[in-house]
Structure 1
């Protein structure tokens, strides 16, 4: 139980730690045009919209635990690899139309009644976020593929490393290093 549960728990907490670190640093951005509160509100609202846009395509990686587990359990590891390839392909392809929504975050937030300055900053933030959903989706496919085979440690090591890399990059980009 601990061989599987502990690495999964560590991975989960590292991923949550990265999201919290991002929010903490964004809350310290200040310039002549906007307050830290505006940047933080914009980032949180933008993340909310982005998560709504990417969720449908992420269905292709969520099924891997079951499909790879069934393939491995039936003694057919080749089928597990086929499921991984199918998942990566369909996730990447289906993500493309949802990425278009990133360009309309400002309009969505204005329609929902949020302030114009917050909506504008959130729209810019969303456009800069367009680069991560497909690579993150592919990473999640790999993570679930290995996890279904009882190999959660690669994801744990990756998440531990990137918890610190993420904090360092936030420090560099927000405070200038």
Structure 2
């Protein structure tokens, strides 16, 4: 029986992109029988086990150092900004117990009805801006920031309505008339700080997405002592400047608005314009999408903030002294909270930048490292916040 031989021609061969040659012609049954290839032979080489790169201890250490460099400036910004509120509470606390209770009730109302909402919607930028910065269109960082400014500008309108009518609302919640009146006065003057606070919350994320986390911290280093000086002058200073109880919220309003102006000027003229986007009609688009993204952040942040503030509302039913004690506890715990919050913000920026540049495994490494660091932070805070001498500051 003659043996048939098949010669491969050019029509039977095809070069793949990686340089390998693929046989595309048809073979006779005798040719297939003579070869080791059958219909059971896999087309692709089999992978045994997980070939993904394993993260070493040195990789975790290096990532922990990167996250620390991100988190420390954010922590500095957060703690210095919160010092604006602490200076107000401490200065009012030395006036009277009723004044401290009223400022605590006013701060609680501001947090529940306004600041938590603004923080929640602004958290949508935590995922949008880092990915935009590492994409092919980094100017979208500025565009999304402008859109958030438009959205928050609409949101603060009903917030201002609540703050300006806070006394009536608190009386409906069966607060003591004297405390409700002082809290209403506090909020009316504190409402002057709302535009500045909203812009600060947004612009911090604008800087963080670009890795410029040190700039808000440096500005806060300047603003914090100015605020402390204003609190002293307006609450305890010489008679022409001493206006008592309302001096604290006025000092906060001046400080927050001054910080917003400096952040805006610095962003426009003193950093590279890579993320800058000209102001045009595009900033009014995608507002609905941004609103939907922000709602999830509102649900997360508001549920966390409100759980604290409703305890203060319950304490207010017991009288001014329990409410004042609750305000001291709330300020102390909120100060301690800035450490894990800063780590979370740093992780969000780091993971967002890595995902935006297509480094999924590095993003996973950053997330795993952050979990370990958060456990270490929790242990440290557990033993460092049990010192009762801190309470004598108030």
What's the TM-score, normalizing by structure 1?
Answer: 0.90
Query: What does 1:149-168 align with in structure 2 at a 5 Å threshold?
Result: 149-168=210-229
Change (3 A) 1:12 1:58: closer
Partner of residue 139, structure 1: 200
Query: What does 1:67-86 align with in structure 2 at a 5 Å threshold?
Result: 67-86=128-147
CA distance in 2, matches of 1:144, 1:47: 24
Deviation at 1:109, TM superposition (A): 2.0
Partner of residue 323, structure 2: none
Deviation at 1:21, TM superposition (A): 1.2
Query: What does 1:80-99 align with in structure 2 at a 5 Å threshold?
Result: 80-99=141-160
Aligned length: 171
In the alignment, structure 1 residue 63 sits paired with structure 2 residue 133: no
In the alignment, structure 1 residue 22 sits paired with structure 2 residue 88: yes
In the alignment, structure 1 residue 41 sits paired with structure 2 residue 41: no
Deviation at 1:16, TM superposition (A): 2.5
Q: Which 4+ residue blocks in structure 1 deviate beyond 3 angstroms?
A: 57-60
CA distance in 2, matches of 1:45, 1:9: 26
In the alignment, structure 1 residue 104 sits paired with structure 2 residue 165: yes
Equivalent residues of 1:53, 1:99 under 8 A apart: no
> Over aligned residue pairs, what C-alpha RMSD do you find?
1.4
Deviation at 1:60, TM superposition (A): 3.3
Partner of residue 3, structure 1: 69
CA distance in 2, matches of 1:79, 1:176: 47
Equivalent residues of 1:60, 1:88 under 8 A apart: no
Segments of 5+ residues of structure 2 without an aligned counterpart are 1-65, 239-394
Bigger helix fraction: 1
Q: Deviations over 1:1-35 (max 9, x none)?
A: 24312111111221222221110001123xxxxxx
Deviation at 1:48, TM superposition (A): 0.7
Which protein has greater RCO, CA pairs closer than 8 Å, 6+ apart?
1
Segments of 5+ residues of structure 1 without an aligned counterpart are 30-35
Partner of residue 78, structure 2: 12
CA distance in 2, matches of 1:97, 1:112: 19
Q: Secondary structure at the match of 1:96?
A: helix
In terms of mean alpha carbon deviation, does 110-119 or 40-49 score higher? Answer: 110-119
Q: Deviations over 1:92-150 (max 9, x none)?
A: 12211111001221122222222110111111111111111112111211111111111
Q: Deviations over 1:61-97 (max 9, x none)?
A: 2221211111112232111111010011111122111
